[in-house]
Amino acid sequence: MLRLLSVFLWVNFSLNAQKVLTLEQCIQLALERNLQIQQAQVTKDIAKVNFDQTKYNYLPDLNSSLNWTRTFGTSFDQITFQRIQRSSTFSTPRINLFWTIFSGFANHYTRKQQFYNYAASEQAIEVTKNTVLMNVFGTYLLIIFDSENLKVAEKRLESLNKQLEKMTALVDAGLRNSNEVLNLNAQIANEKLNIVNLQNQLKKDKLTLLQLIEENNIDGEFIFPPLPELDMNQKLPNLEELVQKAIQNLPEMKQVNMRLEANKFAKKLSFANRLPSISMNGGLGSSYSSNGGIAEFDPLTFRFLGRKRTSYFEQVEDNFNQNVGLTLNIPIFSRWQNIRAYKIAELNIKNAEIEVESTKNTITKQVQQAYLDAINAQNRYYAVQEQLKALSAAYEFAEQRYNAGSVDFYTFYETFGSKYKAESDLIQAKYEFWLRLKILEVYQGKNITTL
């Protein structure tokens, strides 16, 4: 019973120590955890706040103020119009409104400019996502390639071990020289070293992928399932169509186009700042003075006798006033700042237009290169496939002759190595073709989060 419990605990621990990560899971984790994507999202949120603010720029400004002043010595009371030679207290509460009625459509152009800035920030997120996705996909393919390459190396070692068993028997029977066994042992040692190197490379690529998906806990064994078989005979789309789709769909192209539009409205905004503007202002206010109050006069002579002190709120109510007005502002001379701002806006448009053309050229070259790489990988796969068939037949014939003693070890091993190298080259060509296909899918605007 104790033994069964120990076996159960060991199996359970082994399962928990292993964590399976599919390509879809790796992509999802990278999208959720990647800091560059998060940073681009924050930048987009800032652009959204700036864009939303432009909607409220059409509203008036409303503010209130309340001041309190204490004077000492001789002063003139502007509320009671008296010369005062004592300490006094003054207060003027106000509510003011300012509303720009016309500003040369500056608010409209500002809103358009911020809209395109916001749209450009959205595309920046997609650019970052595509970069992250291709890094994850490429590294995942490397892991699968490393795994299959490792299997080929292990198969090669197994074949050499079997050959060693046969040769040892022949040497023991006195039919072959002992140096044949020594040569095989030397090559077996080389293959073991090669397997260790391949295992190390696999571990390195696994660590790279875990870092790409921001997986901090790298203890335990991570299993990356193989991908479904790829149709190596599929026909590639037309190159010209690929280029056009890439220019239309890639977020890099959309981003620079949005920036160009934003700069166009920045130019219109700089011109609007040179136009006259009309604004309306209004306010409610009152005043208080410690010298204020109700004036008292002699009923017979009408001689001013003084003032009867009144409270703060009584004076505020008595002195309550309103005002409203219109202002026409005509820019005449601003030290050429507006003219220079307009010229800078024109230069920014030219710079944005150059950026659009540069991005278009870069995308065209990238698509052409990816298309050529895909064709080359596919053709290389076909060529290596034929080569492997020929080398496999040659290896079988060389193995038979070597066992019969008709050829030496080095002739046999040369054929042996060529055959297994072709197997490795076939795997490499397949995954290189797969990677190029995914790159072309990105250029077509397709969703590559799933296979």
- Residue % of the chain over a pLDDT of 70: 91
> Given this model, what pLDDT does residue 315 score?
82
Rounded to a whole number, what is the largest CA-CA distance in the chain?
156
User: pLDDT band at 307, cuts 50/70/90?
Assistant: low
pLDDT above 80 for 222: no
Residue 411, phi then psi, degrees to nearest 5 = -65, -45
Task: For residue range 343-352, list pLDDT tens digits in order.
Answer: 999 999 999 9
| CA distance linking residue 247 with residue 361, whole number of Å | 9
> Given this model, what pLDDT does residue 250 score?
92
Q: Which residues are registered as beta bridge partners of 283?
A: 96, 323
Which of 136-140, 261-265, 442-446 has maximum average pLDDT? 261-265
User: pLDDT band at 316, cuts 50/70/90?
Assistant: confident
Other CB atoms within 10 A of residue 65 CB: 11
What residues contact residue 380 under an 8 Å CB cut-off, 6+ apart? 425, 429, 432
Round to the nearest angstrom and report the end-to-end CA distance of the chain. 47
| CA distance linking residue 416 with residue 423, whole number of Å | 11
Task: For residue range 342-391, list pLDDT tens digits in order.
Answer: 999 999 999 999 999 999 999 999 999 999 999 999 999 999 999 989 98
> Given this model, what pLDDT does residue 450 score?
55
pLDDT above 90 for 112: yes
Chain centroid offset of residue 298 CA: 84
pTM over 0.85: no
Which CATH code for domain 122-275+333-443? 1.20.1600.10
pLDDT above 60 for 17: no
All structural domains of the chain with their residue ranges: 122-275+333-443
Which helix H or strand E contains 42, and what residues bound it? helix 35-56
User: pLDDT band at 288, cuts 50/70/90?
Assistant: confident
Task: For residue range 202-212, list pLDDT tens digits in order.
Answer: 999 999 999 99
Other CB atoms within 10 A of residue 132 CB: 19
- Residue % of the chain over a pLDDT of 90: 48
DSSP 66-133: --EEEE-SSEEETTTTEEE-S-EEEE--EEEEEEEEESTTHHHHHHHHHHHHHHHHHHHHHHHHHHHH
